[in-house]
Structure 1
Amino acid sequence: MAAFVLRRPFALTSALKQLPKATTPAARAFHSSPVKQQLFSQRSSTPIATTVTKSRPTFQKAFRRYDSSLQGIPNPAASGTLGQRFLYGAAMVGGSVVALNLVFNREQREDGGMPPYERAYLNDTFLHTGLGLGIIGVAASALHRSGWSYRLMSANPWVVLGGGLVVSLGTMFGTFSTHPDNYVQKYALWAGFNVAQAAVLSPLLFLQPALLARAGLYTVAMMGSIAFVGATAKQEKYLYLGGPLLAGVALVAVSGFAPLVLPATAARTLMWSERIWLYGGLAVFGGFTLYDTQKILHHARLAERGQARKDVVNESISLELDFLNIFIRMVQILGMQQRRK
């Protein structure tokens, strides 16, 4: 469970920053992007409509990073006809699958393939993961249309952070501790966990739908290819990654703290801390996808031997966290590329 405690904050508030305050210096949680853009305005007597009008362009710029050395570089994925873009994306996905399979999957399973009980357990886990992400998407859209995103952005950011963490961690550990046979309580807590993610991430819907769709597609492609490697690789080959990945999460977390303790004049250090948070985070949570896939298959073998209980809901939460962390970073990367055109 320690892995979930360390990974949870990244998915909660990575997209939420603070607007500059009048009298207090800006502060940011360690899991937010090092880009010095802020999302929340201090609660005041300003009408919500005015606050939203001022906050929207700030939010849309939250994923922008100015880098003059990269200006003018063409983005082949953003040029050409729709068919050309589709072919380019398909080539990227196919190439990634082939490359990952060749590099990381040289030693494949020795049992001639995945047994039916492992396949069924893995499919059930993926089904619950997709259902959970669907709940997050639908709930976030409904909350956004109801005006929740506006109120969230005008609230005190530390209250949002604290409340989001308490609700998310509470529902997550409640789900973990509930026996799988207690269906009503299990699924109620799991649904509450997903709605909590939707409530905090709903301001992402201020961004362009096309950008969010591309980020989601790339995230699915990345996680799908990595999960394929984990499912077809030699049994328990990547379970040793648990410790190194926790160390990687700690490094990414420290890089998020850098803007809080380093002066603004340390531009080079802050730039590297941002890259560690962004690209290092992609590598770490991609590794967690590989580790979690093999962990799910390991639990399936234990359950088949009667040494553990089947709990696909708990398994799906780990994959949901991986997806959210990768998705948020994909959104930021695509937003940066869009500004370079």
Structure 2
Amino acid sequence: MADYRTIHAGVGARSAEIDAGLRAHMNKVYGTMSVGLIITGLAAWALANLAVTGTPTQYELGNGEYLTGLGYALYASPLKWVVMFAPLAMVFGFGAVVSRLSAAATQTYFYAYAALMGLSLSSIFLVFTGMSIAQTFFVTAGAFAGLSLWGYTTKKDISAWGSFLIMGVIGLVIASIVNIFLASSGLAFAISALGVLIFAGLTAYDTQKIKTDYISHAHAMDSEWLGKSAIMGALNLYLDFINLFMFLLQFLGNRD
């Protein structure tokens, strides 16, 4: 009969190996997400600077600022609809192509998506002050860190939140598209308030899901799967952060 101490030691060693692997996996998730956020921020800031000039043009913004030709094309011409919806199309395409891509190619796709998101979000620099954008970013970072930590450490199973939160996101997307044409300030406020709550919940939910998915598949130790899983996890948390930031900006941002 096997010595129970040998069995216990083997189980303990395996558990320690999974714990170490989980920490490395989560570090990769957060690291990839952080790089994506940096790419988005730099792309948005750089493009906003190329789109606005102090030299008078026919496209006046006010406060001594004018749109360049590039700025007009991106923010005032019909191309603005492409800029607005391209990231949405690309993120839907992510799930379709990830099964056919290597882990390295999946990561490149994610970083390209982050740059495109920066293009889409660059207009916030035309609407809000740089100081309020920075302040909102740090508020979002603090809230995200707390919510993600809770999702990682809580013993409560919050997997049941998933379907409810996804339905909430679909509702937000539909309401946001409708409000593009209605331009209702009351509806915009309601969308922002619900958006903060929904993406706060998704931050905790997605963090726990990344953890449980890793533990469920850790026994296989498929490096290709683990690499793609980390990038998909980074994408989910990246989207949670970006959306939480954008909805909070509606409350905390000071308009130019």
**Could you tell me which residue of structure 1 aligns to residue 251 of structure 2?**
333
Does the aligned pair in 2 maintain the 1:136–1:198 contact within 8 Å? yes
Aligned counterparts of 1:253 and 1:203: Cα–Cα separation in 2? 19
Q: Percent identity?
A: 24
Count of residues in Structure 1 that have an aligned counterpart in Structure 2: 217
Return the alpha-carbon distance in structure 2 between the equivalents of residues 166 and 220 of structure 1: 26
> Who is 2:48 aligned against?
144
Does 2:125 correspond to 1:211?
no
Aligned mate of 1:319, from 237, 241, 244: 237
Distance change in 2, residues 1:213/1:287 (3 Å): same
- Aligned counterpart, 2:111: 191
**Cα distance 1:191–1:261, how it changes in 2: closer, same or farther (>3 A)?**
closer
Distance verdict in 2 for CA 1:115–1:164, change over 3 Å: closer
**Could you list the runs of 5+ residues in structure 1 that have no partner in the other structure?**
1-110, 265-269
Distance 1:253 1:190 in 2: 21
Cα distance per residue 1:52-83 (max 9 Å; x no partner): xxxxxxxxxxxxxxxxxxxxxxxxxxxxxxxx
1 CA distance for matches of 2:117 and 2:177? 22
For residue 222 of structure 1, the aligned residue among 110, 119, 143 is 143
Q: Which amino acid is 1:256 matched to?
A: S
Whole-angstrom CA distance in 2 between matches of 1:144 and 1:280: 28
Query: SS at 1:228's partner residue?
Result: helix
Give the residue type in structure 1 aligned to 2:83. Answer: V
Which residue of the other structure, out of 277, 289, 293, is the alignment partner of 2:191? 277
Partner of 2:160: 240
Preserved contact between residue 140 and residue 241 of structure 2 (Cα < 8 Å)? yes
Structure 1 length-normalised TM: 0.57
AA in 2 matched with 1:330: L
Match of 1:117 in 2: 21
Q: Name the structure 1 match of 2:76.
A: 154
1:200 alignment partner, one of 120, 123, 138: 120
2:212 corresponds to which of 274, 291, 298 = 298
Question: Over aligned residue pairs, what C-alpha RMSD do you find?
Answer: 2.9
Amino acid at match of 2:147: I
What is the distance in 1 between the residues matched to 2:73 and 2:181?
30
Are the structure 2 counterparts of residues 118 and 285 from structure 1 closer, same or farther at C-alpha, using a change threshold of 3 Å? same
Compared CA separation, residues 289 and 277, structure 1 to 2 (3 A) = same
Structure 2 counterpart of 1:219, one-letter code = T
* Counterpart AA for 2:252: L
How far the C-alpha of 1:138 sits from its partner, in A, is: 1.5
